[in-house]
Structure 1
Amino acid sequence: GAEPDRSGEAEVAKRRPIVFTDRELDVMSVLWRLGSGTVAEVREELGDVGYTTVLKILQILEDKGHVAHDAEGRAYRYRPLVAPEDAGERALSRILNKVFHGSLDLMVARLVSDRSLTADEIARLKEIIDELEPGDAPAEGEGRGR
């Protein structure tokens, strides 16, 4: 059949605030990992959630503009419209502003004090900090991954 017109889907997803409940994030995590999935496939990955619960979560995510579906036989195949990096960036920004009142140094200190860092992780964090100039931030859409 003809490919559905998806020209506006990504744009709509970008404009909406990205806020997930824990269960929504569980479902999104499966879709990001698989690329797409039916209700049955997502449920199988989650293991402890009923079919109708997964269906309802996917419908809510679709209403919020975070996923879209395509018909596949009698089932729908859902796919994410939001990249995990975008969701993570927005979530971190909310935590920074709402929990740490904009104090990045306090947030980072809290993150690293909650777990034991390996020597490699400490070295990598030092590299990232050394590369920064005051007021510097990664370019739009550009991460600082490994």
Structure 2
Amino acid sequence: MDEVSFTPRELDVMSILWRAGSGTVSEVREALDEDLAYTSVLSALQTLEEKGFVRHEPEGRAYRYHPTVAPEKAGRSALARIREAVFQGSAELMFAQLVSDRRLKREELERMRHLLAERLEEES
């Protein structure tokens, strides 16, 4: 499971599972912004299970689904795809776009600075 890639609907479902830790089809359906049929949510969860991104266990008459991939791993994969597709492979251009966002608070920028300093120390 090196490549972690989600369709937009799968990402919505995974986001709910990551936040809640687990969920039944009904719980996931309720938490979605979009009003989807039960079978559509079930189908998304089954597809995610086939891909190895979730697992299920019986809970009464339903199944409870649990994520098997960490959001950080999915994030790394998504960022790599964005870096290649949007920023011509340049992490520098992607970073410049990120830090130019005026909605970032000073505290977030300071934490980013600290992370960069730590990473630079590792390279020394």
TM tier relative to shorter chain:
0.7 to 0.9
Who is 2:86 aligned against? 99
2:17 corresponds to 1:31: yes
Q: Is the 8 A contact 1:100 1:107 kept in 2?
A: yes
For the residue of structure 2 that corresponds to 1:108, the secondary structure is helix
Pairs within 5 Å for 1:30-109: 30-47=16-33, 48-109=35-96
Question: Which blocks of at least 5 consecutive residues in structure 1 are unaligned?
Answer: 1-14, 137-146
Q: Give the whole-Å Cα distance in 1 for the aligned partners of 2:26 and 2:32.
A: 10
Please give the TM-score of this superposition, normalised by the length of structure 1.
0.74
CA 1:117–1:16: 2 relative to 1, 3 Å: closer
CA 1:19–1:115: 2 relative to 1, 3 Å: farther
- How far off is 1:53 after superposition? 1.1
- How far off is 1:114 after superposition? 3.6
Please give the TM-score of this superposition, normalised by the length of structure 2.
0.86
Note the aligned Cα RMSD (angstroms). 1.8
Q: Give the whole-Å Cα distance in 2 for the aligned partners of 1:128 and 1:74.
A: 47
Greater shift in the superposed pair: 63-72 or 41-50: 41-50
Q: Give the whole-Å Cα distance in 2 for the aligned partners of 1:16 and 1:117.
A: 31
Q: Is the 8 A contact 2:23 2:64 kept in 1?
A: yes
Q: Give the whole-Å Cα distance in 2 for the aligned partners of 1:85 and 1:132.
A: 18
- How far off is 1:126 after superposition? 2.1
Q: Is the 8 A contact 1:16 1:65 kept in 2?
A: no
Letter in 1 for 2:44: I
